[in-house]
Structure 1
Amino acid sequence: MSIEDLILRLRVEEDHRKGDKKEMADANANMVVGQSSKSKSQKLLKKNFKKDFKRTTKPLAPKGKAYKKIKGSCWVCQKQGHRAQDCRHKKDQDSDNSGLTNQANVTDMEIDDIDIDLTAVVPETNMVSDAKGWWIDTGATRHICSDKDLFYEFHPADSEEKLYMGNSSSSMIEGKGTVKMKFTSGKVVTLLNVLYVPDIRKNLVSGPLLNKKWFKLIFESDKFVLTKGCMFIGKGYLTEGLFKLNIVIVNDTGNKMIVSAYMIESFDIWHARLGHVNNKLIHKMVHLNMLPKFKIDLKHKCEVCAESKFVRQTFKSVHLRSSELLDLIHSDLCHFKSNPTR
């Protein structure tokens, strides 16, 4: 037995004796004990202590084995000096939990202490939206319009077709047509095969369909920029979760003179792309389905073609030539590092 174990045993015995003295003092509080009775009581106390000590104490370690001090506290009662398997409170805890074996492990918490992210789909809400505005939608596969007055050309639907939404709902398609959007930059984009769906709340422009027509869509810093080649078409800003296009609302949609020189599918653009060819060649290419169908304005005059046909004035002839030393001579500069021509 080590010194630490001996000290521990002595402390336990001292605490036990103090408890017995308090019990004897309480029992003999109102009694007068003589000298002979006092000696008898002390002998009786010693006998009882020896019996209790032999009955309660156990060998700390078996013979031939060293005693190891238990480190840490008990998992059941959180006290030191014994393990959880030897704890007397374990039986009480097992008896309390015996009737809960058929129940699941449930943790009760207050809702205020838990951060829950919920995603809900609201089918209908009271919203005030711009019926004539247009929003760009990269998830839409078709152009959709809810206002019949915005159509430049309209054809009612022959059969009952439905438009299916992302939340498994559907709406009836009542027609198709052509819509022209005029941006604040002055350029006009013509949307073909636009579906007329009165139930939809916003007019949507399909991003994938614009990409198929060689448009470039740029989303950056809550701003949308639409370009085609090196030409700027229009822009938009983030509004209500989507990018709204900055367009000019034209009230007189029935006027056929809205055709702008900056239309994407127009005579002016193809005339410039093909090197300012004549009108007959463009009309022939449209007839052969080599170009998209558009209205050809025979009375339109190209400014570039008109300027290129101007007659240039002749240069004045120079009669004076330098013939003496240190006279001023005009000549062309040459580059000596250039590659020789064949």
Structure 2
Amino acid sequence: MSKKSALDTIKLQSFDASDFLSWKIQVQLGMKEREIFYTVQSDFASTVEDVDEYQWNKDEDFCRDYLLNSLNPRLALTYHAYKSAKEIWDRLNAHFQKEEGLSKSLIGEKFFNFRFKANVPITTQLLELVNLRQKLDDDHSKMDDSLFVYMILSKLPPEWLFFKTEMHRLKEKISLDELKRFIHIEDQNIAGKSMEQVAQPSQAVNFVSRPSKSSRKPPTPKGDSHAPLAVKKPSLKRKKGKCHNCGKWGHWAAECKGPKRQKEEAPQNVANMVVDNSDPKSFVAMIGSSHRSASSEWWLDSGATCHVTNDRGLLSKVTTVKEKVENCNGGATDVTHAGTAELVLSSGKTLILQRVKVVPNLTKNLISMSLLDKAGMSFTTMNGRMTLSVNSHYFGCAYLINGMYRLSLDNDRINQVSSTLIDPKLLHNRLGHIHYKKMRDLAKSQNIPLDLSIRFDRCEVCAQTKITRNPFKTVSRSTQLMELIHSDLCDFRSHATIGGRKYLITFIDDFSRYCHVYLLKSKDETFETFKIFKSRVENQLNLKIKRFRSDRGGEYTATGFRDFCASEGIILETTAPYSPQSNGIAERKNRTLTEMLNSMLLTAGMPNSFWGEAVLTANHILNRVPHSKLNSTPYELWHGHPCRYDTLKT
């Protein structure tokens, strides 16, 4: 190709002794495009190119001018003393390549301390992070893409929490390119929502602002960190008339920035404004609903300018006060006490509220968002979740419930179950595909936040794995623990576990329906397993087994088994021949365990050799969910205290 003079070419971004690697890549591309790169790789005597000395000298001069032209004036003057292009190239590499290596520690520190900013598109910031990673990678140590994906997710801002959660929920491992694509899509969605917010007039809900004597600025909704800036209007001369809305001089009622006067009595379901007489700057948004929330729940209210509660027991440093609060309808409510509330959030951080007022007639405990804003807290809302931040650091969160945001406290996490609404299908999988009615009863009794808005009528896995037969009706039931034990042996010889187990045996207490499951290699282990079970439960409960019911299997009717029960004073009860329904409780338990393990294995895609682990997990779950014949869980009746659910994961 024809070559122009180096001074006539398009000049590259001049190198100023920073970011040598990027400059080197650009210069190499330029030299290769002009077919002069070979002149810096070797001298004329050792070159492998088929050129004569005249062509070599011509290309070498062109390359030298090209290199000097790509340096800033200060460096060009320094390296102009070198006569050949190869000498300039080698000196640059020797000097700046070494410094590039020495600065890798600083690049590494910058890489690991990198954090995405919420107010800048993540896609743009991701390019900078990828560039830092490329500078760290060399021939000896390269970061794996999967590790880099997790690092990107960990560096996302708190506003992207839902995006991070969805990425972690993906069963298949996500690639770096896929993550970049998902981030780009999410950036576009956020940008679209921002444009909609700018185009639509903003609406403030339950917000109250008392106009100051020195300023007539309109109220700004709290918690919206992305609210569009108001355009400053040219100052107009104040009118001297009296406002018939607020009673102030200096403007007309049509221009009044204060709340509009209510002409009619407000309906009961609308949030009412309550004015504290003792402090003219204090307002409280009272909820006129007939439903009273739990005393330990705290709700964020943008219309309240003081913190209020209906439970004195939630406060410390309590003092007696005699005050009254008035609502816009003219009613008055007594304030009996004031104190300090210390709230431990689900994030582990503590929020201390000073001078919280006790209003016994209040239906909800309210936290003033305006006071939190004055203290330096910011609010961001997205998809029914409000994120609380202090100095751009995550502090806590609140969730939208029936039109208001409830603060997520540490005591809201019942047995460490997340306070967010749980998909019924997800909870159904976590509980080993138990019956939907039983799952709803558990959620209701244990305060598990189940999302009832999601319709869940049919589980295809349950339909494939569960077949029922009507049991015989139970004649009578025990009145205490260990009065009657049901037992049955289930055969899995066609699918042995990894440990060689081929059978499972169940021991079920008739009173509590608490079940013990043991895995056996052969049927002749039944007798020894029963003795282990008997010693264990009698030692734990300090009670004796009185009756033992089973089918007519040879493992239960063997002479040794009968003699042992007779010597221990245990009455053996066997079912009628060819009627497994007579031992209905044990047969039903085997059927339920088999259905659950099949459902769990099918859902997880595990081989049948893991049936042993699945059946032990299924029994662990069944002991902790409410039984249809009981008013409690088998675990609570057996152990005497409620169980925990923080170990249930999917």
- The alignment's TM-score, normalised by the length of structure 1, stands at 0.36
- The alignment's TM-score, normalised by the length of structure 2, stands at 0.19
Name the structure, 1 or 2, with higher relative contact order (CA <8 Å, separation 6+): 1
Structure number having the greater helix percentage: 2
Structure number having the greater strand percentage: 1
Of the two, which has the highest radius of gyration? 1
